[in-house]
Amino acid sequence: MKTSNPILVELTRGELVESFHRGAVAVVDGSGALTAKWGDVDRLIYARSAIKPLQALPLIETGAADKFSLSDQEIALACSSHSAEEIHTDTVSSWLTRLGLGEDNLECGTCPPLLEETRKALYRAQNDPTQVHNNCSGKHTGMLSTAQHMGEPTAGYIKLEHPVQQRIKETLEDMMECDLSEAPKGIDGCGIPVMGMSLTAIATGMAKLANPDQQAPSRQRAIGRISKAMAAYPYLVAGKDRFDTALMQATKGTVLSKGGAEGVQVAFVPHLGLGIALKIDDGARRGADVAMAAVLQQLGALEDAVLDAWLEMPLKNWAGTLIGTARPNGGIFT
């Protein structure tokens, strides 16, 4: 980074600002114009799971969603980073069964449920987590659906050279208006390729989700299905006490949001025709949640009352005593 990004979020304890989160934000409109920005929006980052709604487009555009009669719940799960609650794992398992596949076909690896109470219940029952508990299992089941529908090998679908990943890469390039062929590359936590992209490019992709009428008919339909599914089933996109679920429930789907690891957060706002992408430099999730709420407030996307829980996020000690707040930096967001 040539210069430091601005402080987006402050954490107070008593009368002092004890710590803070720096970051950058890009806001793009339907014409592709960068209408607002904070910090360095051209630096390449890994978007991680925040771009799952874009990665899900080929699931619909190839005809796989129709072939397997996918429900809105399953489309929402294809866009999700779920908490592995029963509603998530049961839906993924039944979807895999309908494909004639099982959890061993998922190449995402195993990880414990994100929700603590579900994790404890799993271990109390002396069960180990499986691939279905992985927060990315819905996305991976969507990729398996596409591979199977297209007559492609299901083994190795996470590899960059596999047609599933090449199709996703081409979709991302089209939606983000960027060339990813020479972009820095790595491997995500769930095993799929990640490619370096700017916040401006990511926000451009989100703006296209917010303005589907500007896309070809087949893509309009795919965007419509994804938006409808996320708005109707926000609990499947994340889960209990999760920012994405709470925000989409509170806004009744007028704002659609998706978080990713390492402090990445995106949103698309159809009624304003805007796409938003942000990254907290230190990767903190609490910083991303507060920063996104502040950006939505700044843009007039929502009433303050809807955002209050994140604009003044209470911080408590182990005894439950309120000791401070996480809040937007008033010098940046006014």
Rounded mean pLDDT of the chain? 96
333 domain-assigned: no
Task: Give the pLDDT score at 308.
Answer: 87
Q: Name the percent of the chain lying above pLDDT 70.
A: 99
Task: Give the pLDDT score at 269.
Answer: 98
Average pLDDT over residues 325-330: 94
Q: Which of 6, 12, 78 is nearest to 278 (CA)?
A: 6
68 domain-assigned: yes
pLDDT tens, residue by residue, 170-216: 999 999 999 999 999 999 999 999 999 999 999 999 999 999 999 99
Tokens representing 247 are 């925000």
Average pLDDT over residues 122-147: 95
Number of helices and strands in the chain (H, E): 14, 11
CA trace torsion 40, 43, 46, 50 (10° rounding): 40
77 domain-assigned: yes
Q: Output the pTM of the full model.
A: 0.96
Contact indicator for 91, 236 with CB cutoff of 8 Å: yes
Q: pLDDT band for position 229 (50/70/90)? A: very high
Number of separate domains in the chain: 1
For the ranges 55-64, 144-153, 300-309, which has the lowest average pLDDT? 300-309
Write the CA distances from 137 to 103, 191, 276, 308, 319, integer angstroms: 9, 11, 25, 32, 36
pLDDT tens, residue by residue, 247-261: 999 999 899 999 999
- State yes or no: pLDDT of 334 exceeds 80: no
Tokens representing 98 are 């309908």
Query: Regarding beta strands 185-187 and 313-316, do their DSSP bridges make them parallel or antiparallel, or are they unpaired?
Result: unpaired
Give the CATH number, domain containing residue 158: 3.40.710
SS3 content of the chain, % helix, strand, coil (to 5): 45, 20, 35
For the ranges 59-73, 111-125, 280-294, which has the lowest average pLDDT? 111-125
For the ranges 94-103, 274-283, 299-308, which has the lowest average pLDDT? 299-308
Contact indicator for 322, 301 with CB cutoff of 8 Å: no
Tokens representing 259 are 């978080």
Task: Give the pLDDT score at 2.
Answer: 64
1 domain-assigned: no
Chain centroid to CA 154: 24
3-state SS assignment for residue 267: strand
Q: Name the percent of the chain lying above pLDDT 90.
A: 89
267 domain-assigned: yes
More confident of the two residues 259 and 334: 259
94 domain-assigned: yes
Write out the residue range of the structural domain in which residue 204 sits. Answer: 7-328
First-to-last CA distance in the chain?
A: 26
2 domain-assigned: no
334 domain-assigned: no
Residue type for 105, please?
Answer: N
| Number of neighbours of residue 110 by Cβ within 10 angstroms | 14
Q: pLDDT band for position 270 (50/70/90)? A: very high
CA trace torsion 286, 292, 259, 74 (10° rounding): 130
